[in-house]
Amino acid sequence: MKIRKEFKIGVFAVVVIAVSWWGIKWLGGQNVLLTSDSYYVYYDNVSGLQESSRVKLRGVPVGNVQEITLERDRVKVELAIESEYRDMIPANSIAEMGAAGIMGGVEIAILQGDAEDIIEPGAVIEGRIKADLVGMLADQGSELMEGLNTTIEGVNALLETNTNSITALIANLESMTTSINGILNSSSDDIKSAMSNLNNFTEVLAENTGRVESMLENIDTFTTDLAEAELIAKLNTAVVSLNDVLAKVSSSEGSVGMLLNNAELYNKLTVAGDNLGVLLEDLKANPKRYVHFSLFGTSDEKLAKKQAKADKKSKK
């Protein structure tokens, strides 16, 4: 037989609720898995005692405070003590409320009596407040009062030391507020007029929101079209110019086209360049062949004499 999904969910929910309830009780100092007996104690004052505070017997936790109620001029405290310790509480035992160690807090300690009979569950145990608890509360009150006195003295000293400064500050604040009030009073008409104009402007702007949006859209469209038109025109011009240059180069027009397409012209230029290089080298090696220079100048007669001497030398 299959177990339905809803049944599983229901069982799981019940388990979760039960575990949660047990955990809450356990955190409150009550173990629901153990049986306990109720006892009652009366005190004049239970300052610091809380529900779930520990109840100890010879220093061992045996239960907790279950409930605290006020009855006329006394406070009734219900103690839940585990049933296994029932025979360890004689009839003349005392429930003493005191400090729970150095960590603070208040607990109840069961001081065992010497009677042969035990106290029955549901009965009232004699209550007593431990002396050190009263002293602790008094010490805490005195420490609190000392702290308050120290704080008040410090505030008073601070006020006495800075009385002049505080007085001057208050006077300055009063003067400032007076000046501000005067400015506001003298300029109230201008401020009202400015606010009225601002309100009128906002109203006009709100009434013409559609027109403003349309105008902004038209400006945006116009600038976009203008930018695109200028860019396209520039691109078209550049492309046309580049095509003209490439066409001229391909059609042998101009120097670049002739150099690229006329091999004979290229060879002639190469030969001319080589001859020019040879001529420049000969000019550097024999400059007198090409340049005649004289400090006093030359004449036809001197040249003829030099030629005659050269002829004579050659005949010899």
pLDDT tens digits, one per residue of 273-286: 788 887 788 777 77
What does 71-100 look like in DSSP terms, one character per residue? ETTEEEEEEEEEGGGGGG-BTT-EEEEEE-
Mapped onto helix, strand or coil, the DSSP state of residue 108 is strand
User: What 8-state DSSP symbol labels residue 103?
Assistant: T
Strand partners, 39: 79
Q: What is the mean pLDDT of residues 4-14?
A: 71
Residues 6+ apart with CB under 8 A from 250: 257
CA angle 45, 46, 50 (to 5 degrees): 165
Q: What is the mean pLDDT of the chain?
A: 77
pLDDT value at residue 124: 93
pLDDT value at residue 311: 66
Which of these ranges, 121-135, 183-197, 271-285, 302-316, has the smallest mean pLDDT? 302-316
Tell me the Ramachandran region of residue 65: left when phi exceeds 0, alpha when psi lies from -120 to 50, beta otherwise: beta
171-187 per-position pLDDT tens digit: 888 888 887 877 777 77
Task: Identify the burial level of 137 via C-beta atoms within 10 angstroms of its C-beta, where 0-12 means exposed, 13-18 middle and 19 or more buried.
Answer: middle
Q: How confident is the model at residue 94 (pLDDT cuts 50, 70, 90)?
A: very high
pLDDT value at residue 123: 93
